[in-house]
């Protein structure tokens, strides 16, 4: 494959890996671990009476973000909240509009937006400024489209992720977890190997921590947007040399619970020690545990969704990272071919890959 095809393979792997993880995990959603048989294939979703390969409200968060970026190219909080309101109140971005069961937090958020619209008041950039207790995994489901569109400017990308997260989830834990996860996705798209990516030394902003790369996608613009990298030119070799600024501000600024994950807490845990509830940190840790313990997309995805609990969220978080790492062509075709309503997905996701390629020109 040429460079363009390689990039598209990674982009599509990230986006459709998300959908596959969601659809595969839907059969086990809300179930206690190991109370049902092990899932290795797409199964009918009896909870909502949907055929095998149906994606859920988890993927609706991906489509919501993709649609937003397709329209605005960058994160626009006010417009995003309008689209978020449409998801909750009208079931937009869903296969069936009657299967959406918003959480109480989402209902309250929709009510706030509705009242502001009714009174003709402007929507804020941060809808829930006092909801520091809200730490569910919803914001992690919106990361992939932003990263794909803006990973070539890492500092801008992380700022966009922060803005997007804070529209609904203001806690530092949520914001930092999304920024850290975005840094992993960017690292994957830049060619960082798995072992180095999951190590405590990897720092997106310090290129000297990337280690040997699977491929070289560096540009001078990318290097200039890595704030903890010192760049100098070697006149004798006519080359650019990157050195560490040794500040580690990005890593040191992470919220303590996120920093534990960054340090590799999941690497030392057994399956029984991995939690799979709706907590953002637990979902992130579970997805990274599955990624670290699998040698293929298939193996890791099966490990992820069979944790039970929030299996769709964990499967989707795993799927976007592993899909970007292994590529679309390494996602089993027997899973891809079963995905329902592919035309809806393509309407939202194909434009994202086009934006990504345009931004690289």
Nearest 5°: phi and psi at 90? Answer: -120, -5
Query: Cβ-count burial of 252 within 10 angstroms (0-12 exposed, 13-18 middle, 19+ buried)?
Result: exposed
Distance from C-alpha of 318 to C-alpha of 297, rounded to nearest angstrom: 9
Percent of the chain as helix, strand, coil, to the nearest 5: 60, 5, 35
Quick one: pLDDT at residue 277?
Answer: 96
Bridge partner list, 242: 231
Query: Cβ-count burial of 131 within 10 angstroms (0-12 exposed, 13-18 middle, 19+ buried)?
Result: middle
Query: Cβ-count burial of 199 within 10 angstroms (0-12 exposed, 13-18 middle, 19+ buried)?
Result: middle
Distance from C-alpha of 256 to C-alpha of 254, rounded to nearest angstrom: 6
What does pTM read for this prediction?
0.95
Q: With a cut of 50, which residues of the chain have pLDDT below it?
A: none
Q: Domains plus CATH for the chain? A: 3-125+138-201+237-360 (1.10.4080.10)
Quick check: 214 and 199 in contact, CB under 8 A?
A: no
Quick one: pLDDT at residue 241?
Answer: 66
Q: For CA atoms 283, 288, 290, 296, give the dihedral sign.
A: positive
Distances from the Cα of 144 to the Cαs of 97, 148, 280, 292, in angstroms? 24, 6, 16, 19
Quick check: 143 and 320 in contact, CB under 8 A?
A: yes
Quick check: 29 and 307 in contact, CB under 8 A?
A: no
Bridge partner list, 50: 45
């Amino acid at each position: 494959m040429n460079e363009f095809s390689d990039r598209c393979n990674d982009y599509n792997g990230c986006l459709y890996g998300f959908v596959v993880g969601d659809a595969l995990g839907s059969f086990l959603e809300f179930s206690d671990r190991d109370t049902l048989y092990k899932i290795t294939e797409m199964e009918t979703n009896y909870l909502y009476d949907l055929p095998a390969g149906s994606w859920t409200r988890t993927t609706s968060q991906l489509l919501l973000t993709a649609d937003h970026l397709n329209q605005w190219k960058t994160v626009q909080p006010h417009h995003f909240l309008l689209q978020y309101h449409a998801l909750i109140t009208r079931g937009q971005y869903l296969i069936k509009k009657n299967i959406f069961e918003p959480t109480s937090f989402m209902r309250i958020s929709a009510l706030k937006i509705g009242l502001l619209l009714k009174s003709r008041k402007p929507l804020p950039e941060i809808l829930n400024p006092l909801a520091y207790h809200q730490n569910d995994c919803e914001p992690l489901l919106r990361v992939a489209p932003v990263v794909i569109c803006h990973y070539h400017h890492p500092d801008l990308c992380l700022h966009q992720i922060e803005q997007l997260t804070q529209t609904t989830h203001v806690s530092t834990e949520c914001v930092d977890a999304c920024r850290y996860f975005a840094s992993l996705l960017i690292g994957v798209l830049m060619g960082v190997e798995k072992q180095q990516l999951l190590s405590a030394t990897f720092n997106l902003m310090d290129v000297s921590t990337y280690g040997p790369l699977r491929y070289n996608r560096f540009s001078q613009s990318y290097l200039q947007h890595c704030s903890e990298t010192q760049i100098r030119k070697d006149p004798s070799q006519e080359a650019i040399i990157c050195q560490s600024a040794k500040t580690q501000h990005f890593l040191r600024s992470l919220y303590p619970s996120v920093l534990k994950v960054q340090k590799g807490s999941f690497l030392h845990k057994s399956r029984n020690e991995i939690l799979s509830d709706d907590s953002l940190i637990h979902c992130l840790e579970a997805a990274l545990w599955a990624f670290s313990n699998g040698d293929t997309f298939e193996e890791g995805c099966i490990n992820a969704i069979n944790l039970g609990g929030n299996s769709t969220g964990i499967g989707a978080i795993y799927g976007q990272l592993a899909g970007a790492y292994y590529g679309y062509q390494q996602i089993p075709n027997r899973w891809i071919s079963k995905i329902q309503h592919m035309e809806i997905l393509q309407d939202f996701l194909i434009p994202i890959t086009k934006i990504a390629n345009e931004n690289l020109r």
